[in-house]
Amino acid sequence: MNFRTLIFLFILIPITFFGIVLILLLNLFDPDGQGFYKIAAWWGRLSARLFGITIEVIGEENYSPDKHYLVISNHAGMADIPLLLGIMKLNLRFMAKEELGRIPLFGKALRQAGYVMIKRGQNRDALNSLFDAIEVLKKGHSLHIFPEGTRSATGELLPFKRGAFRVAQKGGAPVLPITIIGSHLITPKKSLKVNKGKIMVIIDKPILPPSFETVEELMAACSEVITTNFNRYRNN
Q: Would strands 197-203 and 142-145 be described as parallel, antiparallel, or unpaired? A: unpaired
Strand order in the sheet with 53-58: 53-58, 197-203, 175-181, 70-73, 142-145, 92-97, 116-118
Confirm if 218 and 168 have CB atoms less than 8 A apart. yes
Strand 175-181 to strand 197-203: parallel, antiparallel, or no bridges (unpaired)?
Answer: antiparallel
Per-residue pLDDT of the chain (236 residues; tens, 9 = 90+): 676 677 666 677 777 877 887 877 877 777 666 778 889 899 999 999 988 999 999 999 999 999 999 999 999 888 899 999 999 999 999 998 888 888 888 888 888 888 898 876 656 667 788 899 999 999 999 999 999 988 898 899 999 999 999 999 999 999 999 999 999 999 877 777 888 999 999 999 999 999 999 999 999 999 999 999 999 999 87
In 3-state terms, what secondary structure has residue 43? helix
Sequence-ordered strand ranges (E) for 14-82? 53-58, 70-73
CA distance 171 to 165: 9
Structural domains for the chain: 3-233 (3.40.1130.10)
C-alpha 78, offset from chain centre: 10
Q: CB under 8 Å to 26, separation ≥6 — which residues? A: 35, 36, 39
Beta strands at 175-181 and 116-118: parallel, antiparallel or unpaired: unpaired
Query: What integer pLDDT is reported at residue 108 of this predicted model?
Result: 85
**Which residues in 83-233 belong to E strands, given as ranges?**
92-97, 116-118, 142-145, 175-181, 197-203
Predicted TM-score of the model (pTM)? 0.91
Sequence-distant (6+) residues with CB within 8 A of 181 are 155, 199, 200, 201, 202, 230, 233, 234
Give the span between the Cα atoms of 211 and 175, in whole angstroms: 11
pLDDT on residue 121? 60
Inter-residue contact 176 to 63 (CB < 8 Å): yes
Check: CB of residue 158 under 8 Å from CB of residue 152. Answer: yes
What pLDDT is recorded for position 31?
A: 64
pLDDT value at residue 1: 61
CA-to-CA distance for 109 and 199, rounded, in angstroms? 28
**3-state DSSP call for residue 53?**
strand
Identify the pLDDT of residue 19.
80
